[in-house]
Structure 1
Amino acid sequence: MLRALGAVAAAGGMLATTSVPGSARRDWKPVADAVREEYLWAWRQYVERALGADHIKPISGGREDFFVEGHSVGLSLVEAVDTLWLMEADAEVAQAVQWIVDDLDFDIDAPFQVFETNIRVVGGLAAAYHCTGDQRLLERAEDVADRLLPAFTQSPTGLPYRYVNLATGAVSDPETNIVEIGTYIVEFGVLSQWTGDNRYYDLAKRAMRVAYDKRTELGLLPHDINAETGRWRNRQATVGPPGDSYYEYLWDGFRLFGDPELKQWYDTLTGAILSEQAERHDGMLWFPQVDAFTGEVLSREQSVLAGFYAGLLAESGHVAEGRAYHDAFTAVQERFGVIPTSVDYSTMTATRVDTALRPEFADSALMLWLATGDEVFRERARTHFENMVATSKTTYGFASLTDVTAEPPSQEDTCPGYWWSEQMKYYWLLFSDTPRLDYRDNYLSTEANLLRGARR
């Protein structure tokens, strides 16, 4: 299903512009080569200056912890393995795997955020196992997943607590949201498949069911919930954070495991979202935040993270709506060059001018391209890539931006771990036609961890 793509990276700090739809099919190999070259250059900087750190500081070359100060778990490295493998960087994969086997230790007496640890660390290790077949990586994924289970088993409702101490199993913080209680079934589900231990899948699905069963009469879900009482903590429904990946994992759980209940829940909630939240403004489709009980529009601020929803809609059969929503974010990209963290779409102004190397636009471009074969989505992703290089590349890697409206955009000395897993992988899969992926039968998690479709 994957077709062929290619262009030239932007130079001299100039932002690219998206080519017109319907442009002639191109050779996209130069773009793929540029993506791989930039990624492997950044990887070398990380290995030389920050190996084992959660993050490299791309401006200063320093190290940064993500989960707990003083306790790195090699997050960027764990997130990078399957991307390196897809790029056929086998020496780099071997180096990363050896570090995981020799140096990665989860016996840490400190609270870790359960949601982030699952999607990034469990997911990264599971993807590394899927790509390499190295049983030791599956064992490490099991190890950390087992350390997360008390967040579920100690909850009176089945909704997981936000934090768990990886060494002691002590849980904390019941004030959570539907993303942090409902983004486990993919990673836990593949562990159940691969190990035969159904606890993982059952606990993840139970938490999703608790939230689904509390939907309002409009069929919507407020996004904040208490894990101990099971009561909603607010009234606002959103397809952006912190609501986004709950919906994503209903569909993904059905795709991966064929669970008809998950599809039923997804279809019910998506029908309500399209009926009660979708609105057109200046001819573009948007999804405002609404009161889940009344449908009243509460905010027309749109997070860059909500851009993933265009791809999810397309994947699940709502292709026209997915395309229209991606068109809306494309208008934001064309206005700002780099999509800011949030915009008020009623005025098309940035409400937060920073951005943290967000991948959601490229994610949905990949999903829409796979769903439609339309080259315009490759063109949009090429623009996204070239503008990222032009604005974020710095001395030792790629930096988040503090202000996309500045000339030039101002950089921050941080590179998130998901950069290694997400957008560079999306670009590579869009532009490379890599033989290491089954383009007809594959699966990428919310963190872009490859959990189906690796061709060894």
Structure 2
Amino acid sequence: MSRTRRQWLGYFLALIAVLLIYQHSRPSSNGQNTESETPTPIANDDTDTSDSLNPKPPNPDLLTPPSDQLQPGNDQSLEFIWRSLPLRFPATSNLFPPIESTQGIPRIQGSEFSPVTTWFQKSRQAAVKDAFTRCWDSYKSLAWEADELVPMSGLPRNDIGGWGLTIVDNLDTLWIMGMGAEFKEAVATVVKISFENIQAPEINTHEINIRILGGLLGAFDLSSDRRLLKKAIEVGDMLYAAFDTPNRMPIIHWDPHRAIRQEEQIAEEMASASELGAFILEFTRLSQLTGDPKYFDAAQMVMEKFNRLQDVTRLPGMWPLIVNARSENFDGDFFTMGFEDSLYQILPKAYMLLGGHMSVYRKMYEKSTRTIAGHNLFRPMNSQGRDILLPGSIHVQMTQNGKSRTQLESKVHHRACFSGGMFALGGALFNIQTHRKIANKLVDGCTWVSQKMPLEIMPEVVEMVPCSSQTECPWNEPIWKQQVWKKVNTGPEPDPDMDTDRYISQHRLPKGFVDIPDKGYNLRSEVIESIFTLYRVSGREDLLDTAWDIFESIQNATEIINGNAVIADVTVLDEQPVHIDRMDSSWMSQTLKYFYLLFSDPGYIDLDEYVFNSAGHPLKRPKEESTL
């Protein structure tokens, strides 16, 4: 059905709905209305017949009394091992997060649904919720309290602490989708988790921070259930112990048993810059809620080091993928967004969460995006002549005379597609028009890659032919085939007689694609996350249809009996997709959540009220005193 015919049908159906609502709500014979105009919140959605795209969340009054602020020192139940653990290298700083009212931050959201759009999105929203419910029910029946469900085997899986990651990670998703009974059951399970009980010899503090601490904070900010804040403090204190190193740089691959035994801890010599710098949102929010500045102080001191070193890396403005956290040497030569989604995107979000009072985050954002736009982004040559952008990576080589030379690697990682949303948010927040244009081109670029695949799903990694210019890029088929030949024949014994056309056909390479190094799809969220952010900021309604097409493609390819599973190859169309026995918690807590919110009324979980951390958890922004 064409969009015009669909709109007329929508108008007709909406008119009928209005007439029915009017007839149903007419006063009774005694002149009094028989129903309340404003429904009260309900504890679950089993009988929800509302046409609203904002589901009625559980009533926090049915849980435990909310608390605006919880002073941890006043509650004896919080005296667990991590709070009482002595520090070998206590902080010498004492930084407090700003407490002034938010001022000077403009409104971010620019989209709102028309009645017709609302009509069409309701069924889409319901389909996403059905997909989530199927996965949740499978996890509940087959792997309850485990970190994740292995969907094809129907077995539990524990490799992120064994603390019921899927439950904690999806608390806010349950709340957002109005699943009150499930939320209450999940909270009752979470409060029994003991973060003193660590079975694994090593844990990833980055993952615990963004997914478990972030999940607890996001659920608390939505529900005001103080039990969740108590658990967040427990996790925060555990993670704080990972900062107990001589230079106060956190240990990412951390042995918590060493900390408990009071053994010396030293920061790693090879660590991901993204993981080191990704504590600031969660630790800031924890300090805001508890009044205890130690969390913010720890994360902010790390970000001060990132700020100090930003201009002296081999690619000034960006931080290398791998750094030496022990010596604070940031001399790496590879710069990418493919594995740095937790670093660059948090810069404008930290600015917002801190009420606009710390300009250092605006400065770091603007410096990094200036470098990214000038080096990492490229226009891919394509036969349709689409004016789109994709995020690549940069190798920096030092010449004999001491000068640097950059080389673009035009491999595009699915994870790097967060960048469209980052530019959309930053462009709106700081009123940078060029960033708005870049955001649209990046989102269109990543969705274009998805559309070019036989299954219409973006694979984990693709490699393209980059244009020499972002302004003009005519299609040149011989150059494309030449690049494919060069890619195949990079070894010591090239094959001059290679049949390039046959190779392209056998490897199912769309025009413009040089290679697809990783044809799989790991149920990732980055493409839909950027579509969500750009839609909320710009109001581009075509993005709703694009997102729905992607959702249907993903469901068709990944849905199995116990939920959804990773697929091995998105370039195979005529055969049944090969599934891999894995369903990360992030499929529900990020991918499906962003789909659901995209098809919800834009005023629901408003970007002017919340910032989403890198694991998709909404953290409440300080209340604004005024907006521009």
Offset at 1:271? 1.3
341, 344, 349: which one pairs with 1:252?
349
Deviations 1:374-396 (A, max 9, x none): 01221221122111111111111
Correspondence for 1:223: 321
SS of residue matched to 1:284: coil
**Alpha-carbon deviation of 1:106?**
3.9
Secondary structure of 2:462's partner?
strand
- The 2-side partners of 1:270 and 1:155 are apart by 32
Asked if residue 40 in structure 1 is aligned to residue 143 in structure 2, the reply is no
1:427 equivalent in alignment to 2:595: yes
Amino acid at match of 1:185: I
Letter in 2 for 1:279: F
Q: Which residue of 1 aligns with 2:8?
A: none
Cα deviation, residue 159, structure 1: 2.7
Q: Give the SS at the match of 1:91.
A: helix
1:219 deviates by 2.6
Structure 1 residue 324 corresponds to structure 2 residue 470: no
The aligned amino acid for 1:229 is S
Q: Is contact 1:178-1:223 (8 Å) kept?
A: yes
Structure 1 residues 437 and 214 mapped into 2: Cα distance closer, same or farther (>3 Å)?
closer
Distance 1:354 1:4, change over 3 A: same
Shift of 1:449: 0.4
1:413 matched to 2:530: no
Contact 1:111 / 1:164 at 8 angstroms: preserved in 2? yes
What secondary structure is seen at the aligned counterpart in 2 of 1:403?
Answer: coil
Cα contact 1:237–1:289 (8 A) shared by 2: yes
The alpha-carbon deviation at position 333 of structure 1 amounts to 0.6
Give the counterpart letter for 2:410 in structure 1: R
Q: How does 1:164-179 map to 2 (within 5 A)?
A: 164-169=254-259, 171=265, 173-179=268-274
Deviations along 1:274-330, one digit per CA (max 9) or x if unpaired, are: 123322232431232113573512411110000100000011001110110111111
The answer to whether structure 1 residue 94 and structure 2 residue 184 are counterparts is yes
List aligned pairs for 1:155-170, cutoff 5 A. 155-156=246-247, 158-169=248-259
* 1:389 alignment partner, one of 555, 563, 572: 555
| 1:399–1:367 CA distance, 2 compared to 1 (3 A) | same
Distance 2:396 2:169 in 1: 35
| Distance (Å, rounded) in 2 between the aligned partners of 1:41 and 1:287 | 34
C-alpha separation between the residues in 1 aligned to 2:374 and 2:604?
Answer: 40
- Report the alpha carbon displacement of residue 66 of structure 1 after superposing the two structures with TM: 2.4
Structure-to-structure mapping, 1:258-277, within 5 angstroms: 258=356, 259-277=358-376
Q: Name the SS for the 1:451 alignment partner.
A: strand
Q: Which residue of 2 aligns with 1:83?
A: 173
Tell me which of the two structures has the higher relative contact order, counting C-alpha pairs closer than 8 angstroms and 6 or more residues apart.
Answer: 1
Q: Secondary structure at the match of 1:432?
A: coil
Give the Cα–Cα distance (whole angstroms) in 1 for the partners of residues 607 and 296 of structure 2.
Answer: 26
Residues 453/149 of structure 1: CA separation in 2 closer, same or farther (3 Å cut): closer
Paired residues of 2:195 and 2:235 also in contact (CA < 8 A): no
Matched, 1:213 2:308: yes
Q: Which deviates the most, 117-126 or 287-296?
A: 287-296
Separation (CA, whole Å) in 1 of partners of 2:598 and 2:249:
37
Counterpart in 1 of 2:337? 239
Deviations 1:342-366 (A, max 9, x none): 0002242421011210000000000
- In structure 2, distance between residues paired with 1:330 and 1:304: 11
Local SS of the residue matching 2:609 = coil
Q: Partner letter of residue 160 of structure 1?
A: P
CA contact (8 A) 2:565 2:583 kept: yes
Return the offset for 1:89.
Answer: 0.3
Consecutive unaligned residues in structure 2, runs of 5 or more: 1-108, 382-386, 398-403, 428-434, 466-511, 623-628
Aligned partner of 1:343 in structure 2 is: 462
3-state SS of paired residue (1:327):
helix
Letter of the 1:341 partner, please give it: E
Aligned to 1:57: 150
Please state how far the C-alpha of 1:409 moved relative to its aligned partner. Answer: 2.2
User: Aligned ranges for residues 177-188 of structure 1 at < 5 Å?
Assistant: 177-188=272-283
- For 2:117 and 2:590, the matched residues in 1 are separated by 28
Matched, 1:3 2:120: no
Distance 2:569 2:342 in 1: 26
Read off the aligned partner of 1:55 and give its amino acid letter: E
CA distance in 2, matches of 1:50, 1:255: 37
**Which whole-Å CA distance do the structure 2 matches of 1:46 and 1:25 have between them?**
31
Deviation at 1:439, TM superposition (A): 5.2
- Does 2:403 correspond to 1:313? no
Distance 1:453 1:26 in 2: 30
Q: What is the one-letter code of the residue matched to 1:60? A: S
Larger Rg, first or second structure (1 or 2)? 2
Cα 1:313–1:434, aligned 2, differ >3 Å: closer, same or farther? closer
Aligned AA (1:331): W
* Aligned residue number for residue 192 of structure 1: 287
Are 2:233 and 1:142 equivalent residues in the alignment? yes
Secondary structure in 2 matching 1:296: strand
Residue number in structure 2 paired with 1:403: 569
1:132 aligns with 2:223: yes
Pairing 1:72–2:130 present: no
Task: Quote the RMSD (CA, aligned, Å).
Answer: 2.3
Paired with 2:284 and 2:588, the residues of 1 have a C-alpha distance of 23
In the aligned structure 1, how far is the partner of 2:114 from the partner of 2:139? 29
User: Partners of 2:447 and 2:291 in 1: how far apart?
Assistant: 43
Aligned-residue offset at 1:59: 1.3
- The change in CA–CA distance for 1:274 and 1:42 in structure 2 (over 3 A counts) is same
1:288 aligns with 2:392: yes
Q: CA deviation at 1:165?
A: 3.1
Residue 489 of structure 2 is aligned to residue 372 of structure 1: no
Which residue of the partner structure matches residue 9 of structure 2? none
Deviation of 1:371 after TM superposition, in Å, equals 1.1
How many angstroms apart in 1 are the aligned matches of 2:168 and 2:448?
34
Closer, same or farther in 2 for the Cα pair 1:119/1:5, shift >3 Å?
farther
Say whether 1:452 aligns with 2:620: yes
Identity level (%): 27
Within 2, Cα distance between the matches of 1:295 and 1:366?
37
Q: Which residue of 2 aligns with 1:11?
A: none
- C-alpha distance in 2, partners of 1:130/1:41? 26
